[in-house]
Structure 1
Amino acid sequence: MGSGNWIIDNLNSALEMWNGRLEEIWQLITTSPENFKGGGIWNVIVGINGGLKAVGYALLVLFFVMGIVKTCGSFAEMKKPELAFKCFIRFVLAQAAVTWGMELMTGAFRVAQGMATTIIDSAGLTAMSATALPDEMASIIEDVGFFDSIPLWAVTLLGSLFIWVLSLVMILTVYSRFFKLYIATAIAPVPLASFAGQPSSSIGVAFLKSYAAICLEGCVIILACVIFSAFASSPPAIADDTLAAATIVWNYVGELIFNMLVLVGAIKMSDRIIRELMGLG
């Protein structure tokens, strides 16, 4: 319900947008790809993964032959039992990776999601702390006359615009993580087939590292949200109530946007952060 003051209502509307996106992020991070949007997207991805397995099996043979050609100087070397056995084991493991790649990838995601759940439980949070306009700030705004409130309109309008943009950037980043998970799962048979040959195995290793980074992004996002929740529980204080109302509101909005920028920046760079911390390259 509106307060009857346009400035207060404008700020509350922007904060409601922000809180709604935070709540949505909280739900997305704790949701598995199988249950996202009712599981319809996941069923399509599973179908694509199954269709590409035929391509993966064909590439198995190609990568296997290429590996033998590059690692063996002559056909006589393949007669050595130890070398033949090593190539055979490599081919069998690569075939298993293509066949059971979906199960392996979903298992890795469950491990990462379990880590995110542990972080949430350890932080003692069941939901994000809502960011609200302090009562004293609302009282200052309500006491301002019509002409003095004109600068406040510009301040709150710019502040609300920033909050809306940051909310959209933040939620789009989290949604893009789901898209990366779906894309990686769909095309998994192709890069996993590269394990059949020793020279090409670096493709599969890079793919697994990238997938691990995507899964662990959720942990970084959860940590960023937990830290911001601590900031939200202690809203920006009014430094000096003797200042002009426009200055007080500007200081409040500026500090609030700064805290939001820290959260959005951490979420936006979650992939880079996890790669640097885990040495995933």
Structure 2
Amino acid sequence: MGDSWIVDNLNAALNTWNGKLAEIWQLLTESPQTFRGGQVWSVMVGIHGALQAIGYGLLVLFFAIGVVKTCGSFVEVKRPEHALKLFIRFALAKAAVTYGLELMQAVFSIVQGTVSTVITQSGTSGMNSTTLPQELVDAINNVGFWDSIPLWAVTLIGGLLITVLSFVMILTVYGRMFSLWMYAAIAPIPLATFAGEPTANVGKNFIRSYAGVCLQGLVIALSCVIFSALAASPPSVDTSASVVTAVWTYVAELTFNLLVLVGAIKGCDRIVKEIMGL
């Protein structure tokens, strides 16, 4: 007897989930520069270059504000040690605006190396695919028409939950990639605040926030590795119970496991903020 609609529906939901897990694994090991052929990155680089001109203008403005607020009089500016301090601050701020994108790529490369180390040490080259147990498939195929009606409801609910969870999970990971692009595009403006001592906190918070977004990849990778270890043993099938009970128990246990992973990925932002003290 061929697979029934119930089996096909469950398999379709599991295939969606497996596909999203594989996509997450690819996103974790890919940089914003190479994603989708680098088309989005080239646009962000163009915007970054255009905002650099604005950043240079703001650089002078923030520097002037800093001089006014930190110096009691013009006589202090004329002191060699104070003038040297202001010159060094301005030079470092200009270097941050000029080479900010390269510095951000270096930070991302360091975190990406950590992610690769976690993946390598875990011995996991990808997420394990979740498949429907053969004994459950056989039990469903042997159910008569009237007895299969409750299974339709169970299958619809379970398949819908699995599909929704898979899209919630992948949207979170894509959100991180979008954040990396946006940080790269607008970097010259917040980095220009380093020119003035009173406004330097804006630049510091920007760098910390960017490092936090990069670290989200590490937390997501750890979540996937932990889930892969927990899911090494698939949910058990109770062959002594009725088919409806067996299917419902299997779907409920599987959905709970998937919900744990989604919760861990969704909570990566909170975890990183606690680590970074944001």
TM-score, normalized by the shorter chain, greater than 0.5: yes
Unaligned runs of 5+ in 1: none
| Percent of pairs with identical residues | 58
Among 256, 267, 270, the alignment partner of 1:269 is 267
- State the one-letter code of the partner of 2:276: G
Residue aligning to 1:126: 125
How do 1:60-209 and structure 2 match up within 5 A? Answer: 60-209=59-208
* Post-superposition offset of 1:140: 2.2
Q: Note the alpha carbon deviations across 1:127-177, whole angstroms, 9 max, x for none.
A: 110011112222222232221111111001100001111111111111111
Residue aligning to 1:48: 47
- State the one-letter code of the partner of 2:263: G
* Post-superposition offset of 1:243: 2.1
Contact 2:212 2:276 in 1 (8 A): no
SS in 1 for 2:145: coil
Distance 1:125 1:3, change over 3 A: farther
Residue aligning to 1:279: 276
* Post-superposition offset of 1:251: 1.1
SS in 2 for 1:247: helix
**TM-score normalized by the length of structure 1:** 0.96
Contact 1:3 1:9 in 2 (8 A): no
Alignment partners' CA distance in 2, 1:24 and 1:8 = 24
SS in 2 for 1:147: helix
Alignment partners' CA distance in 1, 2:107 and 2:168 = 27
Alignment partners' CA distance in 1, 2:174 and 2:241 = 42
- State the one-letter code of the partner of 2:144: G
Alignment partners' CA distance in 2, 1:252 and 1:184 = 43
- State the one-letter code of the partner of 1:262: V
Size of the aligned set, in residue pairs, is: 278
Please provide the CA RMSD for this pair. 1.3
Residue aligning to 1:15: 14
Among 241, 244, 250, the alignment partner of 1:243 is 241
Q: Note the alpha carbon deviations across 1:84-120, whole angstroms, 9 max, x for none.
A: 1111111100000000001000111111111111111
Contact 2:3 2:141 in 1 (8 A): no
Alignment partners' CA distance in 2, 1:271 and 1:63 = 31
Unaligned runs of 5+ in 2: none
Residue aligning to 2:230: 231
Contact 2:55 2:192 in 1 (8 A): yes
Contact 2:169 2:266 in 1 (8 A): yes
* Post-superposition offset of 1:3: 4.4
Residue aligning to 2:215: 216
Contact 2:2 2:141 in 1 (8 A): no
Q: Note the alpha carbon deviations across 1:49-101, whole angstroms, 9 max, x for none.
A: 11111111101110011011111111111122221111111110000000000
Alignment partners' CA distance in 1, 2:88 and 2:277 = 26
- State the one-letter code of the partner of 1:279: M
- State the one-letter code of the partner of 2:126: A
Q: Note the alpha carbon deviations across 1:249-269, whole angstroms, 9 max, x for none.
A: 111111111111111111112
* Post-superposition offset of 1:190: 0.2
**TM-score normalized by the length of structure 2:** 0.97
Contact 1:213 1:280 in 2 (8 A): no
Larger mean Cα displacement after TM superposition, 132-141 or 164-173: 132-141
Alignment partners' CA distance in 1, 2:31 and 2:49 = 20
SS in 2 for 1:131: coil
Residue aligning to 2:58: 59
* Post-superposition offset of 1:279: 2.6
